[in-house]
Amino acid sequence: MKKLLSLTLAGACAAFLASAPAQADTPVRTIKFGHLNNTDHPVSFGVQKFAKLLEEKSGGKLKVREFPASTLGSELQQQAALQGGVQEMSAPATTSVAGIVKEFGLVDFPFSVSSFEEADALLDGPFGQALIDKLPEKGLVALGYWDLGFRNITNSKHPVTRTEDLAGLKIRVIPNPVFLKTFEALGANPLPLTFGELYNAMESKAVDGQENPFSVILSNKMYEVQKYVSATNHVYAANIVLVSKKFWDTLSPQEQQWMRETADETRAYQRKVSREAAQKAVDQLKAHGMAYNDVAPEERQRMRDTAQPVLDQFTAEYDPAIVKLYKDELARIHK
């Protein structure tokens, strides 16, 4: 009887162990998550939320360590680190990814969307997914898009209320062909610099100004070296949540599922705090002494019309299928 009981208990234990969740066999991993922004920026808030949710969802098996404020280098350096497998995650602006998948440049086309709702519809739909699908062959996996906000111009010379006000201004832009050619068409003198070089360049007057979302302008204290902020809203900017494919391929299907679910849950939170921060940032920039001005819709349209030949040039160089999808999606969301 005792022998039978022992065998029964042994069998029960074996069955329990066999049915125990895969989580018990999952090693503890620490994910290095780098980005350019300070810890008071909505991108950092997104990383912090992602870290909290992922640790909870994985039962502590997947931990995230944040590296803010360019600690791990520029966006391009971090991108290379992800491709090489020495860094696990980053959240760069989509502009920097255009260097390896040029069709990401379509996201940065000026004046293509005019509201957050239109931006979300474009990026969360078939067009945004088609871009994501091109990344694995480049050594990257994307888990969706975060909000960075509409980009606006600051400078130390004068307000920008119309296209002519950009003439001759030395404007720092992201090292991205669409940005360079667009600002050239608008009459400015665009200078491609990494974000880490920007503040010193403004302080030394090597550049007159730059363009970024309000929350980035505030978080990086650009009001110390810039006088004018103009609500051009010329480009909607997004961050893309990237994972090293080399790291991704080491994860179990369960771990990959945790990562995707966490990214989906974090997205709505990050967009909400980012857009709330942008609204508050304008008042804070004014309080710090910046002179704020709006740009009339008809002037934005003039800027768009001026830049149109540049957009036509670039679309001719992109994958025709992606361009068609982009235009079809814009027509759908503009209805």
- Per run of 10 residues, the mean pLDDT along the chain (length 335 residues) is 46 44 71 95 97 98 97 95 98 92 93 95 98 98 97 98 97 89 96 94 98 93 98 96 98 98 98 95 97 96 94 94 97 93
| 8 Å CB contact between 82 and 88 | yes
| 8 Å CB contact between 266 and 49 | yes
Nearest to 225 by CA among 303, 312, 309, 289: 289
3-state secondary structure of 1: coil
List Cβ<8 Å contacts ≥24 apart for 22-29: 22/252, 22/254, 23/58, 23/59, 23/61, 23/254, 26/58, 26/61, 26/252, 26/254, 26/255, 27/61, 28/60, 28/61, 28/62, 28/63, 29/61, 29/62, 29/63, 29/255
| 8 Å CB contact between 217 and 146 | no
pTM: 0.85
Backbone angles phi, psi at 293, to 5 degrees: -145, 145
Q: Tell me the C-alpha distance between 111 and 235, whole Å.
A: 6
Nearest to 40 by CA among 262, 199, 218: 218
**Beta-strand pair 89-90/228-244:** antiparallel
| Helices and strands per DSSP (H, E), number in the chain | 13, 9
| 8 Å CB contact between 215 and 151 | no
Which pLDDT score is estimated for 59?
97
Q: Tell me the C-alpha distance between 310 and 314, whole Å.
A: 6
Q: Tell me the C-alpha distance between 249 and 251, whole Å.
A: 5
Nearest to 151 by CA among 40, 300, 334, 2: 300
Which pLDDT score is estimated for 12?
46
Based on the number of CB atoms within 10 Å of its own CB, is 255 exposed (0-12), middle (13-18) or buried (19 or more)?
A: buried
Domains (range + CATH), the chain: 27-333 (3.40.190.170)
Which pLDDT score is estimated for 25?
67
Tokens of 108: 């940065």
DSSP structure string for 73-134 = --HHHHHHHHHHTS--EE--BHHHHTTTSGGGGGGG-TTS--SHHHHHHHHSSHHHHHHHTT
- Residue showing tokens 């832009």: 173
Based on the number of CB atoms within 10 Å of its own CB, is 321 exposed (0-12), middle (13-18) or buried (19 or more)?
A: exposed
| 8 Å CB contact between 219 and 149 | no
3-state secondary structure of 192: strand
